[in-house]
Amino acid sequence: GRCYLNLGKNEDAIKDLIKAIELDPKGIYYNTRGLAYENLNDTIRAHSDFGLAISKDSTNYQFYYNMARVLEMEQHPKAALAFINSAIAKNPKDGNSYVTKGSLLQTLKDTAGAITAYNAALSNDANFYDANYALSIVYNEKNKFKEALNYIDKAIAADVKNPEAYVEKGLILENLKDSVGALKNYSTAIELDKNFSFAYFTRGSYYQTHNNRTAAIADFSKIIAIDPSDADAYIARAECYSDTSNCPAALLDLEAAKRLTPNDPSIYFQIGMCQDETRYYREAIESFSKAIAIDSTANEYFYSRGNSYYNLELLDMAEKDYFKALKLDSTNAGPYFNIGNIHFDKKLLE
């Protein structure tokens, strides 16, 4: 059963582990079968087996650690935290337990506690990749970019062949305004793993931000070739096509994304933008309205629908949408300017 598990043949592993449990219901057998179920995304059976493992042997920290992980997958962070604390109490030298605790505390919005947990892992092993990597993300999110860079460099030193670390370093360097360094790290990640979709996505986004739409489209196209079910790649490529006034290509990508994730409001928003640009204003209004029906908190949806109403000279409707956009974000200058235009058109000069 263990051999099949290591070979990724989880169903075969489960068959043998069932026989092992029938012969001798040890905790380690339930735990191993739980891992196989977890690999098959059957968290219910994995949860049950890890619980049975603990009931058979309450001294093995690994059983508590695995239960914490599956509870995290089931989105029960508080319950998971109780089990990971038990794992740490039984084996305070296991760095993976501290990293899992840090992840749970981040989910529970306890960033200070998460940092403490990650540092506890590093107190046992200063070169522990997972803890250094996690701290780099935490500090990057806290806008402490130099600290983040320090930790990601330690993570890379611990595992120079791990492409995700180079992607994270690229993101940090972008925040430090080192565009050249960021691009170099994204490209290094891709060299290490030619099928790492996220690396292509971050590099494509970098190219898009720096107005290199051709390179961005190439990277987003690579993602789609790797995984044709990646809706985000279609949306990102559509934005690039739209930015280059290639609305027919953009609409094809957006329709593909819509089939994959029909409840994503950004898709309808982008469709509306293409329709507005090509002067299909009524169709654009319909698309913006669909986006708003899904997410009524995005000021740009109301602003853009207001623009389509304005282009149809439906000034009252446009003004209502501009005011809704300003209610959501009063720092956007566009609605103020267009409300001024409406008042000018209505001869309300004061």
Ranges in the chain, pLDDT < 70 = none
d(CA 141, CA 350): 45
The per-residue pLDDT for 6 is: 96
Residue with tokens 């029960």: 76
Q: Give every CB contact of residue 160 below 8 A, 6+ residues apart in sequence.
A: none
- Fill in the amino acid letter for 115: I
The per-residue pLDDT for 17 is: 97
Tens of pLDDT, residue by residue over 264-313, are 999 999 999 999 999 999 999 999 999 999 999 999 999 999 999 999 99
The per-residue pLDDT for 344 is: 94
The per-residue pLDDT for 23 is: 97
3-state DSSP assignment of residue 289 = helix
d(CA 284, CA 312): 11
The per-residue pLDDT for 273 is: 94
Length of the chain: 350
Task: State the pTM of this model.
Answer: 0.85
- Fill in the amino acid letter for 166: Y
Are the C-beta atoms of 151 and 135 separated by less than 8 Å? Answer: yes
Residue with tokens 């690229």: 170
The per-residue pLDDT for 203 is: 98
